[in-house]
Amino acid sequence: MHQIKKKIEDSLLNLLLKKEFDEIEISEIQKKTKISSKKFFNLFNTKEEIMISFFCRIDKDLERKIKRIKLGNNIKDNLFEIFMTRLDLLLPYKKNLFNFYATFKKKPNLLTKLYKSFFISMENNLKLSKINLDPVKKNIKVSLFSFLYLSIIYEWIKDDSDNNEKIMATLDNRLSLIENFLI
């Protein structure tokens, strides 16, 4: 099942090299995979579900890598490590994601279909970094981290350099600005 999901996700990502997300039809993805309609639509009904599945796969890979690293107690360092590891996992898909994120400019309502899974992902990143998510401040911390994440992703997508030095400096600076709120 995992391999079939990955094949479908990869087919959508390959289509994103040629088109923006809103230009792709779910039937086009299904045909590209050569998976039967029944099997395909038992797994996914929308292309948004496919993207959510892709980002869940990235989250699982991130969690495995971070657990192997065994982070320390410095929250800022932990967040930095999590962020850079996530960008490393997304790097092979950077061009694909450019067309995915470009769709948000034209169709911001796409966010309504993805926001729930996005905030769950951001909350999991905070948990991995050992941030206390007590009920009183949890939503504020998740929202603040989400804004940071989106601002860094925006910088990363438009950065065409061969290294991440600029992104690392920007991330370090922005983490310094919000670190006291997250602790």
136 is a domain residue: yes
Overall average pLDDT of the 18-31 stretch: 94
Burial of 152 (0-12, 13-18, 19+ CB in 10 A): buried
Yes or no: say if 103 and 21 are a contact pair by the CB < 8 Å rule: yes
83 is a domain residue: yes
pLDDT at 123 > cutoff 80: yes
Q: How many domains does the chain have?
A: 1
87 is a domain residue: yes
pLDDT at 181 > cutoff 90: no
CB atoms closer than 10 angstroms to residue 158: 9
d(Cα 142, Cα 120) in Å, to the nearest integer? 9
37 is a domain residue: no
67 is a domain residue: yes
Span 126-137, pLDDT tens digits? 999 999 898 888
What local confidence, expressed as pLDDT, does residue 164 receive? 86
Span 56-105, pLDDT tens digits? 999 999 999 999 988 888 999 999 999 999 999 999 999 999 989 888 88
Span 136-177, pLDDT tens digits? 889 999 999 999 999 999 999 989 888 889 999 999 999 998
d(Cα 138, Cα 80) in Å, to the nearest integer? 19
65 is a domain residue: yes
Domain hosting residue 154, numbered range = 47-182
30 is a domain residue: no
What local confidence, expressed as pLDDT, does residue 44 receive? 96
